[in-house]
Structure 1
Amino acid sequence: NDRTIPAWFYEQGFVRKETEITFNPKETRKIVIVGESTAFVTTIKRKLEEVGHHCYLVGNREAYLSILKQEEIDDVINLLNYEKQDADGNEIEKIRNANENGIFFISETIKACGKEKNLRIFTVTNNCEYSNIMKNKYHFGTLDGFSRSVNLELPNLMCIRIDLDVSENDVNSIIKEIAAIHRDDKVVYREGKRYVDSLQPIDMPLSLQNEIALIKDGIYVVTGGLGGIG
């Protein structure tokens, strides 16, 4: 009623959801894996080839773009942002690398393949979403919005981000996603369990009971109007 707060407020959360496995053993897909030739990457390639797929392993974007122009590729697995170590370094450099290996990578793929090509682009990251181990990596903040815009504007392309927690389950998690019907544009694995993005309503009366920590002389951004509240 007019004395209550409308259901305008939501927060991002994650819910458990299993994949819809549709792997056809007779189907052979051409898959490009982009990443360094580590044991992790070569294991992914070997397991995909064991079930009949044809895989190309390339270590840089130049070789990758060359293959895209020469072959009819079905799937791309971008492992350039998957790091085993969360190394310290210049924050601006981290943001630049994340964008080069994220949204710029997708842009170059679209340019090389054309808008009509049916293609799935899997961008693999680690611990970019909330975990108990480390803070979120805000360097990848632009990737989700860009990927979702591509999915809406270019229906032949499907951009999917897989965020892993660097565990022994990582290889199997990637293989599972390749074999799945994809309606989820962001998938998060934690301790072998699969989660997807979800908007969850905020209980405003309950949340207002919590003390709001305002910082003196702090800078705050108020977005949107919300019927005059802003």
Structure 2
Amino acid sequence: MAITQQQLLQILPQARAVAGFFVPALNTAMARFKINSPVRMAAFIAQVGHESGQLTRMVENLNYSAARIVELGNASAPSTRWRSLVPQAKAIERNPRAFAEAVYGGRMGNDKPGDGFKYRGRGLIQLTGANNYHAAGAGLGLDLVNHPELVEQPDTAALVAGWFWQSNGLNELADSGQFAKITRTINGGLTGQADRVALRDLAAKVLA
């Protein structure tokens, strides 16, 4: 089963400028990773659609104002990395490289200076951290460690998302209707769940 460009745009209308690139990329990835039923496809399209701003954002936005850093930091638990950014807010605002190092440096395999920015979130399911780039690259037979920018391209972005989906058992969660658990696996929480559910329901209707 494949998705057509018309169907994709019914679900993700903001993707009009890039749909021609993503339809074949998504179909290739979904076939490879057995995202091959309406329920699996609806869950997958909904999640990658939400995560990527309807296929329009392939790189994590790290251009935060000091006020936003403070707001997010104060809303986080005291021991989290986000909370630790509050005293640095002025120093790292509007500086994506400095921000990435403060958030991601020294963890997720980011052990060299600059790794936080080099391995920032990319793709349809925000691949983040050197360890994850290595794992995805090994799983797909691609050198994503030395060429992380490949994840910004539709073909690779779709393959990485499909690899992540299958590797984390998300097909089985979709089959059993555990959509919230899919979101937690991808997001770590339920951020944006209302939009994800709305996209899933729309996709299910379009693909039926």
What TM-score, normalized by structure 1, do the two folds share?
A: 0.25
Q: Structure 1 or 2: larger helix share? A: 2
Q: Indicate the structure (1 or 2) with the bigger Cα radius of gyration.
A: 1
What TM-score, normalized by structure 2, do the two folds share?
A: 0.27
